[in-house]
Amino acid sequence: MIDAFSSTAPALSASLPDQYLRQFMDEDPMVWSEKYSIGIGVIDTPHEELFDAINDLYLAVFGEEDREVVSSLLTRLVEAAHAQFTAEEALMETVKYTGRALHALKHQYLLDQLDAFAARFHRGIELNEHSLIFIRDWAIPHILDADANFGHWYREHCLS
């Protein structure tokens, strides 16, 4: 199992293959596009903001920014995720979305991980590439699957 919190993980620049590091240094790792839109503005706009927060954190860590910058960006991401998920679940409750309970569990899983990353970071354990990859690899499939399913349900049950 990959340890996303390992305090013994090598420095990012030393542990990532050059090609992988260049990908995140030269390109936006998560670029918002319409393919991520679920068609509900009050969800899509905060999703875009989450992409920006994740992207900024990636670039700061891979760009070897100082701890204060990384700490601020990590806090921004954690707060944005908590706010987004709370608002999303409130909308789901309001419209009586049948998949809300499972969706909320998926949100809670990511929030638990993000909170743990932040707590460990604030205790002096650096973020490593595994934690950053986890965040990216959770967010994109979640939006394309769970959130897209809600978007389809919403359009069918609330807009027709």
Q: Is there a contact between 13 and 21 (Cβ–Cβ < 8 Å)?
A: yes
- If you average pLDDT over residues 2-26, what whole number do you get? 43
Q: Which residue has the higher pLDDT, 30 or 114?
A: 114
CATH code for the structural domain at 41-158: 1.20.120.50
Q: Which residue has the higher pLDDT, 14 or 50?
A: 50
Q: What is the pLDDT of residue 29?
A: 63
- The structure's pTM equals 0.80
Output DSSP code: residue 119: H
Q: What is the pLDDT of residue 6?
A: 39
Output DSSP code: residue 143: I
- If you average pLDDT over residues 13-33, what whole number do you get? 54
Looking from the CA of 61 toward its CB, the CA atoms found within 13 Å total 28
Alpha-carbon distances of 156 from 8, 105, 160, rounded to whole Å? 50, 23, 6
Taking alpha carbons only, the member of 107, 105, 103, 106 closest to residue 153 is 103
Q: What is the pLDDT of residue 2?
A: 38
